[in-house]
A and B are shown apart, each in its own frame.
Chain A
């Protein structure tokens, strides 16, 4: 069999126990979903393929430990920086500003 090409290429591997309990979608998860759809509709990313590609760039450790929308968020940030839509420093500054605001409240 061919070797997996990334952390996403899991078919046929032992999955372990699968958590089947229902869960609510958190507000930030809706926000990530909306951001991805906005990025698509504005042409900032061309297709869901670009989002999937970003997810495939995650390290196996991150892929395993991050939740579904955490992967989306990491991928969207990576893709937008890689395409030059935003710079890494702009993104980091914004994250710091939001973090500072949250810590104050």
Chain B
């Protein structure tokens, strides 16, 4: 299956609570960033618990400005967070 998103594309990290292990921290949910790179395909965290991780999902490295994440951020406005998020947690931003 081909990648749903391309490098450089702007995406939003979904804001939801699946009630199971899912590897998306609260502070990143709902945040917008761009795809820095694609990191291959890996087992879906939600189904690696008591399962085989199927369907495997593409993993993307998302770059988000620190000043977007933390309103009182004191560092450079060029500082970024790189966070790896699975495809089923990403939404396209027009």
Tell me the interface secondary structure of chain B in the complex: loop
Q: How many residues of A sit at the interface, in one of the four size bands?
A: 10 to 19
Given known contacts A49-B21, A56-B21, is B49 in contact with A2 (CB within 8 Å)? Answer: no
A11 touches B48 (CB 8 A): no
A2 touches B29 (CB 8 A): yes
A2 touches B21 (CB 8 A): no
Given known contacts A53-B21, A53-B49, is B43 in contact with A47 (CB within 8 Å)? Answer: yes
Cα(A5)–Cα(B30), bound, Å: 15
Kindly state whether residue B94 has any CB partner on chain A within 8 Å. no
Instruction: Name the distance in Å between A48's Cβ and chain B's nearest Cβ.
Output: 9
Report the 7 A-B pairs with minimum CB-CB distance, sorted nearest first.
A49-B48, A53-B21, A2-B29, A2-B26, A12-B27, A11-B27, A47-B48
